[in-house]
Amino acid sequence: MGTRPAFALPAPLPGATRMATEITTPVGRAGRGRARAEASHSASPGAPQPAEPGVVEEQHVETWRLVTLAQGGDGEAFGELYDRYVDIVFRFVYYRVNDRAMAEDFTSETFLRALRRISTITYQGRDIGAWFITIARNIVLDHVKSARYRLEITTADTIEGRDAEAGPEAAVIGALTSARLMSAVKQLGEEQRDCVMLRFIQGFSVSETASVMGKNDGAIKALQHRAVRKLAEIVGEDLR
């Protein structure tokens, strides 16, 4: 994913030195995850496929085991977390900034910040992916504020893998081609746009979306409903 900036490791994680260095280079421990990421990045980013509930629970247990190890200074464990979540972070950032090089830089910065803050995260019954996305979202928002950058979101991918929790809103989103959807999403307000991206493009649950956006589940459901209704108004006859 390109050249990574040098950084100082936090004292609580001396064992992560090797892994963190490898994130900045095209070889070593993180190369395997990067190869998968770059294969995915070679085309416009798509959405993750849904998993069975039992599988998801097992993945959460294993993921938090890696978090615990990383908090104890295990750089290999943090490297596994990088491998698992680099794609989803890149997709989120790419949809926000519509620039590959910038998305790669912000993705790298996300994991560097996460490495420094890994000791602060505690288990809350949710996928740690929401934590990584929260960091990435804050980086993008900081960029938008400092540079007064107006987001442009484009893609040619078909939106897939929406979970059943979305209900009728998913059917509305599914009625659109990606190009029409993204053109309409650009016209939403920032919160509605983030909600649509997290719920339907990233495949996050209502609870995970709420965690990222700093809202409760009810607020996310209401925001999602308003966002999809607005999309229907924007697209108009194309949905019929």
- The CATH number that applies at residue 217 is 1.10.10.10
Task: Per-residue pLDDT tens, the chain, 240 aa: give them.
Answer: 544 333 333 433 333 333 333 433 333 344 444 434 333 444 445 444 555 555 556 777 888 888 999 888 888 888 889 999 999 999 989 888 888 888 888 998 899 889 888 888 887 767 888 899 999 999 988 877 664 433 333 333 334 444 444 555 655 555 554 566 677 788 888 888 888 888 877 778 888 888 888 899 999 988 988 887 787 777 654 544
Element (H, E) at 228: helix 217-235
Q: What is the CATH number of the domain that holds 43?
A: 1.10.1740.10
Cβ–Cβ under 8 Å, residues 108 and 1: yes
119 to 10, 67, 81, 155, 165: CA distances (angstroms)? 10, 9, 14, 36, 32
Q: How many domains does the chain divide into?
A: 2
Residues 92 and 138 in one domain: yes
Q: What is the pTM of this model?
A: 0.50
Query: Do 28 and 136 fall within a single domain?
Result: yes
From 105, 122, 147, the end of a domain falls on 147
The kind and range of the H/E element at 113 are helix 100-117
Conformational region of residue 52, where left means phi above 0, alpha means psi within -120 to 50, and beta covers everything else: beta
Same-domain pairing of 117 and 177 = no
Helices (H) then strands (E): counts for the chain: 11, 0
Final residue before a domain boundary, out of 95, 112, 147: 147
**Among residues 99, 115, 147, which one ends one of the domains?**
147
Q: Which of 153, 137, 34 is nearest to 83 (CA)?
A: 34
- Whether 1 is in a domain gets the answer no
Residue 98 lies in a domain: yes
- As to burial, measured by CB atoms within 10 angstroms (0-12 exposed, 13-18 middle, 19+ buried), residue 167 is middle
How many other CB atoms are found less than 10 A from the CB of residue 81? Answer: 23
Domain co-membership, 76 together with 117: yes
Same domain, 204 and 91: no
Q: Residue 178: is it exposed, middle or buried by C-beta count within 10 angstroms (0-12/13-18/19+)?
A: middle
Q: Answer whether residue 159 is part of any domain.
A: no
Rounded CA-CA distance 188/134 in Å is 20
The verdict on residue 154 lying in a domain is: no
Report the distance separating Cα 184 and Cα 224, nearest Å: 15
Say if residue 118 is in the same domain as residue 215: no
Inside any domain, residue 2:
no
Domain that holds residue 66: 14-147
210-237 as b/e: b if 16+ CB within 10 A: bbbbebeeebbbebbeebbebbbebbee
Task: Assess whether 176 and 143 both reside in one domain.
Answer: no
Residues 26 and 138 in one domain: yes
**Same-domain pairing of 74 and 43:** yes
Q: Say yes or no: 178 and 131 in one domain.
A: no
Dihedral sign of CA atoms 204, 207, 212, 215 in order: positive
Gap between the terminal Cα atoms of the chain: 42
- Say yes or no: 174 and 73 in one domain: no
Q: 127 and 183: one domain?
A: no
Residue 116 phi/psi, 5-degree rounding, is -70, -25
